Structure 1
Amino acid sequence: MADCRPLGFLIGLPFAFVSLLLSLVGAIVWIIGSVLSCICPCCIFCAGLADLAMSLVKLPVTIIQGFIAFIPC
């Protein structure tokens, strides 16, 4: 129960919702980047774009964990 920080979770919830919308955009970009990198493997830009999109997909979890870790309650 020592790791339970409800205030950090509640404050981070609106930011996580906005990042959830960004993660949906990231998922779409990841799918397009993956298809383009399969079609043209010599295009390294598509692989970098897919990596960036994966970090966008992980963003909501990262934001919630950051708020829970940095807000003491």
Structure 2
Amino acid sequence: MSCCCGDDCECRPLGFLLGLPFAFISLLLSLVGVVIWIVGIVLSCLCPCCICVTAIVELALALIKAPFSVMKWFTKQIPC
């Protein structure tokens, strides 16, 4: 039986391999996101009335999730 046996197939090795360099760049951005997230959490604890800190923390969380989003996007772009 082949790896891709239906329309809902999630096994796409070519998309995975093509997405690896971009996932590595996203991984570096996610490390920046971790630092921003830590600073944002500290700032939001010191001054909870500042709403812009919440937006920065949400941006940092998006950066942290970036490698997974990039790999999902690349694997969906390449057909079996």
Whole-angstrom distance in 1 between the partners of 2:45 and 2:55: 13
Corresponding residue pairs, total: 73
For residues 8-19 of structure 1, what are the structure 2 equivalents within 5 Å?
Answer: 8-19=15-26
Q: Partner of 2:57 in structure 1?
A: 50
User: Which structure has greater helix proportion?
Assistant: 1
Structure (1 or 2) with the larger CA radius of gyration: 2
Segments of 5+ residues of structure 1 without an aligned counterpart are none
* Aligned residues: CA RMSD: 0.7
Report the TM-score when normalising by structure 1. 0.96
Report matched runs for 1:1-73 at 5 Å.
Answer: 1-2=3-4, 3-73=10-80
List, as ranges, runs of 4+ consecutive aligned residues in structure 1 with deviation greater than 2 Å: none
Identity %: 58
Structure 2 gap segments, 5+ residues each: 5-9
TM-score relative to the length of structure 2: 0.88
